[in-house]
Chain A
């Protein structure tokens, strides 16, 4: 059979060839449960934290900051315990990142208090004169848009109360982002 003379057969064979590795290494693990974490201990996001996470995504923080600590001595000495499956098990999408222009943030919520983050986000250079991080001072002037907050929680299937939603009123985008940062490193109940 000369596949180089029969384009339709060729396309089908190419598709099968491409799908073998795809199915075995990418789609099978979705159902095998090998990458499955114990969901019982995981603390779901509150609406404010989720809105903060969406601002983190919108501003592309993941372009410079990772959220995954490798099990290597120099890494745990700097950032804390190695990341586990549980830490990101409910994250859609994941925010592990691929580049550390700035430091890893997997445990940053346990490293600094909230006021530190407000100051730092407004002017990173006020704390580290040689930092290259942009100022996000304008987030403090923008009221948080809560139009889709409830819908987001429903889509992701996170539990919430009416009080959680009331918490969103009068918050700025800065408040939400800091709430999200303060959660990092506090994913589970142990």
Chain B
């Protein structure tokens, strides 16, 4: 009955995504240990400075992006009631992707980096990523064009925004002059380079960590709750104002830097504007739950999707508040920021993508989820792990910021030696590692559950 759809590459990308997630999370745990125990920095390849980009790149480009390739190839077929436009191209994308990620990891281990945050890969790999994105986009757009369902559901909008948005910001930030195969210099200099970098950095958040999971959210929400979307109109207004406003906000990462004040102020203003379109999706989530909140107890998919959107709700309030100059002065450059980021990634993004996989995998393998009990265990472990991580980092961030700010009446610093403000981090950082380990355990339960689900599939579907 499902033979009208093409699932091969979808399966491959789902498995690749889970594999690279495990790698990225393990590196995360290792670098959290290195921060407390410098002796873990064995060999240049395993020093914190080289591993931290591997952690972020593995989870952005190794986990989130292929999860989207997988889920988007599924969504465009389902929502368009048509077969994937170019199945063999999709298969080629899968192989090319995994080769590129291996090379990306090796190059970062070897210290080949442009140093731009979340955009560290050197120019040959940037080109590989652009080619991959084009291959992916051809399939997405091609399938949408030949769809049999005339109206594009809102998930398809978010998919198209992701396709277009990632392309624009990735290319814009990575323009560089090569010196050798392994080294290049940005064409932008100084404050301009910083401004372009954070336009990219913040919009990687927009198009990888926002529109991407939102596409999944809008599909899974009515499926999981078995109820119609609360407001289609709200999703329309939310969509256009979201993709309009996001691009103005990058410079809120550069408050109190030499970047001209007007750019900072515009970014702060638009950061507040962004609360409205972000919450349009939150209200849609909660509105859809109207009259059926008891599903939070009985339906594991609903738990993931609603907790996910709840973390998105908090994230999109916390983000703009961090753009306030006075608050930025306290928490910028501290642990508060990784606390914020990890609520978005471990909370919103991972929970939503997990819900997507829990829904999609049984459909494409023509089976049922292996264990709802394990799915619930997964839910509680990642929830506890993430909260442990984020809350610990928020508290520690405020402590750090307060110690850096503390001044005596005569204008001298209370903690004049930086080391005095560093050592109190250690208990918090151990707590953070514990949070990460709990989260990782939850993720392993997830992977095991998906693996067993695939195992129970009827033989024909396994391929």
Contact = CB atoms under 8 A, between A and B. Distances in A.
B193 A92 contact: yes
B333 A99 contact: yes
A148 B194 contact: no
A168 to B, nearest CB: 15
A131 B191 contact: no
A77 B412 CA distance: 7
Contacts of A19: 168, 247
A139 to B, nearest CB: 9
Interface in A100-132: 100-103, 124-125, 128, 130-132
B189 A64 contact: no
Contact of A63 (B49, B141, B189, B254): B49
B35 interface: yes
B188 A10 contact: no
B333 A98 contact: yes
Contacts of B337: 98-99
Nearest to B165: A18
A8 interface: yes
A14 B193 contact: no
A68 B194 CA distance: 11
Interface string B172-192: 100001011001011111111
Interface string A22-64: 1011110110001101000000000000000010011111111
B294 to A, nearest CB: 33
Contacts of B160: 7, 10-11, 14
Interface string B101-118: 000000000011111110
Contacts of B187: 92
Contacts of A73: 407, 411
Contact of A15 (B164, B266, B413): B164
A90 B188 CA distance: 9
From B113, B254, B257, name the one whose CB has the most chain A CB atoms within 10 angstroms: B257
* A29, A60, A85, A156 pick with most chain B CB within 10 angstroms: A60
B29 interface: no
A93 B258 contact: no
Nearest to A131: B419
A166 interface: no
A166 B237 CA distance: 63
B352 interface: no
Given A5-B151, A11-B160, A60-B50, A20 B419 contact: no
B299 to A, nearest CB: 29
Contacts of B406: 74
Interface of B: 34-38, 41, 44, 47-50, 52-53, 111-117, 141, 144-145, 150-152, 156-157, 160-161, 163-165, 168-169, 172, 177, 179-180, 183, 185-197, 199, 236, 240, 243-248, 250-251, 253-254, 256-260, 262-263, 266-267, 270, 329, 333-334, 337-338, 404-407, 411-413, 416, 418-419, 422-423
